[in-house]
Structure 1
Amino acid sequence: MSCRPEATAIGQTFNAITYGTVAGADAALEVLGLGAERAAGMLRYRGSELKLDVLLPGLHNLENATAAALIGLELGLDTVTVETLIARFPGVARRFERIGVTASGIRVVDDYAHNGEKLRAAITTAQAGASRVLAVFQPHGFGPARFLRPELRELLPSLLRSEDRFCYAEIFYAGGTVARDISSRALAEDIGCAYAPDHAAVRAWVAREARPGDTVLIMGARDPELPRLAREVFAALK
């Protein structure tokens, strides 16, 4: 389990293995590289060293690979097998999924990020691979939008660089009797960013704002149309 104070306290009850880059972890992770397309690290555990070569960018993906490697070792796999399997893993849909790169170098990425920590991971990973990021976030419900509003009002301005751009897409509504008493327009006003009332407006905003070399990051959960939106954005930029 991740070597954070709250996780460590829980883990003591279950004799869990802690891992991470912090001192005191049972399994120590040394970050060797965080690039635009991949991540690398050295895992040291019980006298063994494993080179983790991950075909996905971002510290969070390297940490996830560390957890997977430790599970493999605990199940009896040898270090060479674990290293080989980690290096072959291509990732899964909507977890910093690269949709494509245009001829002018605009990269479009689709990600399931839907809360503060996941937005932080996705945006910082995108920033590591581009000097400018266009980030679109569609909240996944009215309740989550209300709950996350104070956190994101503080987080996003501190996270985004001066050249980055952010757009709130309208909140996903799946039907039912939920109170529709908040809009992404208000969330956008909180931080002075763009607002898109629908997916067509998202495509139009990206088309206006995108420059060669940018990374366009589409984020959100629940809405089954988000993968299509990411692909339509890419098609519009080609």
Structure 2
Amino acid sequence: MGIGGIGMSAFARLLHSRGHRVSGCDEAATDLTRTLEREGITVILGHGAGHAADIDVLVASEAVPKDHPELAAAREAGVRVRPRMELLGELLRAGPSVGVIGTHGKTTTTSMIAVALDGAGLDPSAFVGGIVPEFGSNARVGSGPFVAEVDESDRAFAELGCETAVFTNAEDDHVGGNQATYWETVEEQHAGFARFVAASGRVLLCADWPGLDALSTGAPSQLRYGQSESADYRAVDLQPDPEGTTFTVLYRGERLGEARVGLPGTHNVLNALAALAVAHLYGADFQQAASALAAFGGPGRRWQRVGELNGALIIDDYAHNATKVGAAVQAAQQTGRRVRVVFQPHRYLRTQQSWPRLADALMGADEVLVLDIAAASEEPIEGIHATLISERMAQLGHRGVRYLPERGEVLRHLRHTAGPGDVIVTMGAGDVWKLARELTETGE
């Protein structure tokens, strides 16, 4: 169910590639569902109890209500109903595995690990929450280690474990509200991270993020990566430039070699370092892994270069909470261009919880155009509006912020003012990415 989702479609591809007969359903046709059909996976539009006929297993997200007619019909017919996290746990237990957890950076880090292992000839399988250009997919089937993005927005993740847990950070996203898969408190969520780590063979945690050591005490073995002197794997001698960063990797003080990440931002240095650390742990040749990583351009919607408009660089980024937004702004500043952001707040609850932090994170941009909130199926919350962000920025002295809900006006403004010295970043987890495409496809 929900086969058009980025996670469920990856499951479908993995199982289909392993010889299972796979079908699925979703509300509407998308580019992703059409691609699945071209790959030989049957996709039915809409939901209905009749879909439970002639199947052995129904896989559903925890977000699907337990009384959904499709689930009820499946149970009545004796069909085994499996939560998606249960299926992921089975894949992680099947052999050597790497599970990437944390509030930020999972998709990019998972992609980088898979690309580095592939470049070094270790033939990984991969399950990613985004399209990896090198694979042309969000999934890869290989004979080597299974690398998976493990999403904490599904509370069942805490009952899983893997051979190597890569722990990027821990903050307060996916907390509160009435979402079926969200956590009631940040403490409960962080306890979930700790359970996953304790059930894993070892943890590779970011030494630069405070608090991860305390959450990782249950792991049988701990390793650290980061710029911190306490890290086992260290990135030193960082040399940032407009396109990315070159750095040196040390393992317990011994030089492994020089590396490069072709994505700007210190956060991407850390993501790349984690990938190179995993490659080293699994016996990969460092230079082969580093070369593959240097050529990596990022997964879809993570600092994705969409094209140009009047010489301006057009970037699309999934950043939707304050830490991710701040990191994306810092990456944009590294290009040396004038930073222009089109920001779409995501969810009323998230905006209610963090609009001051979102405003603060955007202050480093030269221009910010704020769209309306992307509801993502949530009901509006009284008093919560995108202007909370724009007005706070103006009160803090930002002179280039505007609330601009009419997308046609956003397009007209950018088409007439974009120039070679600009980087324009469409930012958010909603449909703001469409504006980036429109700017490059129909720009004057």
Deviation at residue 186 of structure 1 after TM alignment: 3.1
Partner of 1:23: 229
Q: Which residue of 1 aligns with 2:272?
A: 65
Q: Tell me, in whole angstroms, the C-alpha distance in 2 between the residues paired with 1:124 and 1:52.
A: 21
What SS class does the counterpart of residue 40 from structure 1 fall into?
Answer: strand
Partner residue of 1:216? 424
The 1-side partners of 2:362 and 2:380 are apart by 26
Partner Cα separation in structure 2 for residue 214 and residue 19 of structure 1: 34
Deviations 1:2-27 (A, max 9, x none): 11331233234323211111222111
**1:169 alignment partner in structure 2:** 371
The 5 A counterparts of 1:156-235 are 156-157=362-363, 159-160=364-365, 164-175=366-377, 177-179=379-381, 181-192=383-394, 193-221=401-429, 223=430, 225-235=431-441
Paired residues of 1:112 and 1:219 also in contact (CA < 8 A):
yes
1:30-83 Cα deviation digits (max 9, x unpaired): 143222222211110143413212222221112111101111111121223322
Alignment of 1:99 with 2:306, yes or no, is yes
Contact residue 135 and residue 166 of structure 1 kept, 8 A: yes
Distance in 2 (CA, whole Å) between partners of 1:128 and 1:45 is: 27
Identify the structure with bigger relative contact order (alpha carbons < 8 Å, sequence gap 6+).
1
- Equivalent pair of 1:96/1:111 in contact (CA under 8 Å): yes
Check whether the contact 2:313–2:420 (CA below 8 A) recurs between aligned residues: no
Deviates more, 1:51-60 or 1:112-121: 51-60
1:33 to 218, 239, 248: 239
| Partner AA of 1:174 in structure 2 | A
| Equivalence for 1:109 | 315
Cα–Cα, structure 1 residues 189 and 205, in superposed 2: closer, same or farther, change >3 Å? farther
Gaps of 5+ in 1: none
Partner Cα separation in structure 1 for residue 289 and residue 443 of structure 2: 39
Q: Distance in 1 between matches of 2:282 and 2:352?
A: 42
Give the counterpart of 2:250 among 28, 31, 44.
Answer: 44
Q: 1:176–1:94: structure 2 CA closer, same or farther, 3 Å change rule? A: closer
The whole-number CA distance in structure 1 between the counterparts of 2:271 and 2:441 is 31
Report if the CA contact (8 A) 2:319-2:428 is conserved: yes
Q: CA deviation at 1:209?
A: 4.1
Q: TM-score, normalised by structure 1?
A: 0.87
Alignment partners' CA distance in 2, 1:209 and 1:184 = 24
1:119 and 2:321 aligned: no
Deviation at 1:176, TM superposition (A): 5.0
How far off is 1:180 after superposition? 5.4
Unmatched tracts of structure 2, length 5 or more = 1-204, 395-400
State the 1:185 CA deviation. 2.4
Give the Cα–Cα distance (whole angstroms) in 1 for the partners of residues 222 and 211 of structure 2: 13
CA contact (8 A) 1:113 1:122 kept: yes
Structure (1 or 2) with the greater helix fraction: 1
Segment of structure 1 superposing worse, 67-76 or 208-217: 208-217
With over 3 angstroms needed to count, the CA separation of the structure-2 counterparts of 1:118 and 1:62, relative to structure 1, is: same
2:286 pairs with 1:84 = no
Q: Percent identity?
A: 30
Distance in 2 (alpha carbons) for counterparts of 1:140 and 1:42: 37
CA distance in 2, matches of 1:153, 1:214: 21
Matches of 2:384 and 2:355 in 1, distance apart?
10
Q: Distance in 1 between matches of 2:378 and 2:325?
A: 27
Separation in 1, partners of 2:358, 2:379 = 25
- Counterpart amino acid of 2:335? G
Q: Report which of the two structures shows the higher radius of gyration computed on alpha carbons.
A: 2
In 2: Cα distance, 1:112 partner to 1:153 partner: 17
- What number of residue pairs does the alignment pair up? 231
Cα pair distance change 1:42/1:67, threshold 3 Å = same
